[in-house]
A and B are shown apart, each in its own frame.
Chain A
Amino acid sequence: MNRFVPLLIVVFLVVLFAAMMGGDRNPQELKSVLIGKEAPAFDLESVIEGQEGLSNTALATGDPIIVNFFASWCVPCRAEHENLMKLAETYKVPVYGIAYKDKVTASRAFLEELGNPYVQTGADLSGIVGIDFGVTGVPETFVIDGDGVIRYRHWGPVIGTAVEDKILPELEKAR
């Protein structure tokens, strides 16, 4: 019996490591502590001239919505943009954009070039709203329910089939 103990330990460790490394787990990703909490208070100017700005009170719409942090200088944001357009146009999900530490003119040019998926935008020039949301780097995408409570945080770009695999099911759960 005793001679199997080392073998059992090795098998246990192999299973443990495989479980920890498997799937799409990213060890750098931090769990958001804001899940289940109301979205932090903010009030920002729009990046689009003449459009109304964005504040936290506008997020509690009675239906689940998406808040996406982006920046024109952020390369992965470019990569996920197509998916945000799809969310807004194909799936008719209201997407709100917060430009994180970006020049307003640069964000505007970014949206003119790639299309604007956002219902409303806010310019977080200092990055303080990002910090209040616990953002560690753009892009990050939040699912917020009808009461304005954060239900899910997608860390990193929403690329590939992440819309169908992650975002849409989370929106459904938040309903």
Chain B
Amino acid sequence: MIRSLISFVLLVFVVAAPALSVAVDEEKLPDPAREQLARDLMKEVRCLVCQNQSIEDSNADLAKDLRVIIREQIGAGKSPDEVKAFLVARYGDWVLLKPPLRAGTIFLWGSPALFLIIVAVMLIMRSRQGSAQKGVSDLTAEEQERLKALLEKDETK
């Protein structure tokens, strides 16, 4: 039992190994600090083919090419911001998984706050409406009488 469990776990790792090796398949930079910079940057760059993956964990050809370019430029001493600018000049802000804050993206970044404000305003208006209605009776005098009679009848039971 234990033996088959162990072999099962081993099998899982063997099968999953290729998934872990993505982005490691290419030649790494000789300087580990630079390599780390490049790897961190890859996590922030969107794969333009699969679109919801970073190029770090995408197998697409274009992602591979972009990884090579990132390593090349980082290896040549460029800063991550310079490499980002290179990519944005070709693919637009969309290539960055975290879009930069600027005039065109204000709505994107501000929308959560905006929706919170809208909800808050709605809640306040609602609670005010609720309190304004308190004490106001829509019943006619006749209905009031009937209600009173009913309530009294109930009490006498």
Contacts and interface: CB of A to CB of B under 8 A. Distances in A.
Instruction: Verify that A and B bind, or say they do not.
Output: yes
Contact of A33 (B51, B66, B92): B92
A164 interface: no
B49 A136 contact: yes
Interface residues of A, number: 16
Interface stretch (A51-59, A62-70, A126-134): A126-134
A37 to B, nearest CB: 9
Interface in B35-67: 48-49, 51, 61-62, 65-66
A12 B61 CA distance: 41
B62 A33 contact: no
A32 B88 CA distance: 11
A31 interface: yes
B112 to A, nearest CB: 18
Contacts, number: 37
Q: Secondary structure at chain A's binding surface: helix, strand, loop or mixed? A: loop
A28 interface: yes
Nearest to B92: A33
Interface residues of B, number: 14
B65 A136 contact: no
B91 A30 contact: yes
Interface in B63-89: 65-66, 69, 88-89
Contact of B90 (A33, A126, A137): A33
A38 to B, nearest CB: 12
Contacts of A132: 90
Contacts of B48: 30, 136-137
Contacts of A30: 48, 91-92, 94
Interface of B: 48-49, 51, 61-62, 65-66, 69, 88-92, 94
23 contacts: A28-B51, A30-B48, A30-B92, A30-B94, A31-B92, A32-B92, A33-B89, A33-B90, A33-B91, A126-B65, A127-B62, A127-B65, A128-B65, A131-B65, A131-B69, A132-B90, A134-B91, A136-B48, A136-B62, A136-B91, A137-B48, A137-B49, A137-B62
